[in-house]
C-alpha cells in the first residue's frame, strides 16, 4: 500500500522548500515510518517514470544533438546514476513549479510519487 497522502504532501512541501532555495544540494527528507509503507521502488516506479519522462534527453546513449540541451553526464540510465542525481531530480521535477521536463510532463500525483520514491531512498 502506498504511503498516506499527508506523507506525500509533507514530502512535496519539503522538496518545495529545498527547490525554492535554488540549490541542488542536500538530500530530500526521509520519514522512516512513512517509508516503511511505501511500495515504490526502481522496478515498479523509478525506471518506468524515468523512461517515460526523463530518458528522452537524459541518456548516455543520446548524441549531444538529441539531448535538448540536457547537460552531458546528467544521465538516468541506471539506478546508480539516478541516486547520484537524486537531489537535482527532486529539486527540478517535484515541487510547486517544476522545471523538468521543460515541456509539461507527469501529473501532480506522479510527481508526488517521484518525491516519495526519492525521499524514501530510491530503493
Looking at the 3D structure of the chain, how many domains does it have?
Answer: 1
**Does the pTM of the predicted model rise above 0.85?**
no
Mean pLDDT on 109-122: 94
Mean pLDDT on 58-68: 96
Q: What is the C-alpha separation between 90 and 117, in angstroms, rounded?
A: 10
Residue 9 has pLDDT above 80, yes or no: no
Residue 76 has pLDDT above 50, yes or no: yes
Residue 10 has pLDDT above 90, yes or no: no
Q: What is the pLDDT of residue 31?
A: 66
Q: What is the C-alpha separation between 120 and 116, in angstroms, rounded?
A: 6
Q: Which domain holds residue 19?
A: 5-119
Q: What is the pLDDT of residue 106?
A: 96
Amino acid at each position: 500500500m502506498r504511503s498516506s497522502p499527508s506523507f506525500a504532501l509533507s514530502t512535496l512541501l519539503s522538496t518545495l522548500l529545498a527547490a525554492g532555495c535554488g540549490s541542488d544540494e542536500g538530500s530530500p527528507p526521509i520519514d522512516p515510518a512513512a517509508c516503511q509503507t511505501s511500495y515504490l521502488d526502481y522496478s515498479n516506479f523509478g525506471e518506468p517514470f524515468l523512461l517515460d519522462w526523463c530518458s528522452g534527453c537524459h541518456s548516455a546513449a543520446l548524441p549531444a544533438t538529441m539531448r535538448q540541451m540536457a547537460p552531458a553526464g546528467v544521465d538516468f540510465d541506471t539506478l546508480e546514476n539516478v541516486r547520484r542525481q537524486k537531489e537535482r531530480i527532486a529539486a527540478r521535477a517535484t515541487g510547486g513549479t517544476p522545471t523538468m521536463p521543460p515541456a509539461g510532463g507527469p501529473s501532480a500525483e506522479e510527481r508526488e510519487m517521484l518525491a516519495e520514491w526519492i525521499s524514501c531512498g530510491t530503493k
